[in-house]
Amino acid sequence: MTIRIVFVLLLTLSVTLQTTAQSVSLRSQTYNAYLSADPAKWEALTAAYENKARHNVLGDLLQLVHCYYGYTMLLVEKKQDDKAAKCIEKAESYIDKILASFPNNALAIDYKGVFISYRISLNKLKAPLLGKKSRQAIARALELEPESPQILCDKGNSLFYPPSLFGGNKKEALVYYKKAISIIEQKHDTDQNWIYLKMLLNEARYYESEDNLTQAKRVYEKILNIEPSFRPVKDKLYPELLKKMK
């Protein structure tokens, strides 16, 4: 009996360690993919994780959707609409699967709102309808988990990117970014955290757009202190800001 208990405990520990190692590895991969801004890297890591993820395990499905989240975001930015459309369909099928079993899963509801917003880039005429649905989903997710940095980030994004005509408000977006950034820093969760880096970038861009160059400089320098090789800031945004300040 004692041997059996020890065996079960060892087996449980082994599975836990394996899951933790997978999560750490995926975090590193998504971070490096974000730094590269290379759709091919996102595509490769998403496909690899899709093959090894356990599609009946909530945590694995959420991680898989997170891969699609980052990959699709880049495809939308680079206007690779055909690939983006396929990714949206795939991700939404996984989100629907999660919500069928866990209808109040805040992160899945948040992702649902985000992928609806990605659809706007494929058909701008649907922006009023889809924008409203997206904001409602993200607002619901935030009600369920008001301290989630991921959801706070997406709430910020829902205000940062749309024009004011469709509910955009960069100043209000900054409030959500700052709250998420503060939570991440308090939890010492900044290492290889691409969402954290992206929010800092948007914070700096906001300050620059408002001609608050001193604050923009402070945040760009903070980013470079965290990740000196972050090329958009290192090669373009920071040098251009310094020229403006002369």
CATH number, residue 210: 1.25.40.10
Structural domain ending residue among the three candidates 119, 145, 171: 145
The residue segments making up the domain with residue 176 are 146-246
- Residue 45 makes CB contacts below 8 A (sequence gap 6+) with 26, 29, 30, 33, 67
Residue-wise pLDDT tens digits, 48-104: 999 999 999 999 999 999 999 999 999 999 999 999 999 999 999 999 999 999 999
Using alpha carbons, select from 212, 210, 217 the residue that is nearest to residue 233.
Answer: 217
Coil vs helix vs strand at 183: helix
Domain boundary among 130, 145, 160: 145
Each residue's pLDDT tens digit, 132-187: 999 999 999 999 999 999 999 999 999 999 988 888 999 999 999 999 999 999 99
Q: Give the pLDDT band (50/70/90) at residue 13.
A: very low
Whether 137 and 176 share a structural domain: no
Whether residues 72 and 125 fall in one domain: yes
Is 3 part of a structural domain of the chain?
no
Measured CA to CA, the distance from residue 141 to residue 107 in angstroms comes to: 7
Q: Is residue 177 part of a domain?
A: yes
For residues 155 and 95, membership in a common domain is answered with no
Is there a contact between 27 and 192 (Cβ–Cβ < 8 Å)? yes
Round to the nearest angstrom and report the end-to-end CA distance of the chain. Answer: 76
Query: Is there a contact between 184 and 149 (Cβ–Cβ < 8 Å)?
Result: yes
Has residue 7 been placed in a domain? no
Q: Is residue 133 part of a domain?
A: yes
pTM for this predicted structure: 0.88
Assigned domain for 13 exists: no
Domain limit, last residue, from 90, 110, 145: 145
Domain membership of residue 6 (yes or no) is: no
Task: State whether 113 and 59 are in the same domain.
Answer: yes
Q: How many CB atoms lie within 10 A of CB 132?
A: 13
DSSP 186: H
pLDDT tens digits, one per residue of 205-225 = 999 999 999 999 999 999 999
Residues 181, 241: one domain?
A: yes
Q: How many domains does the chain have?
A: 2
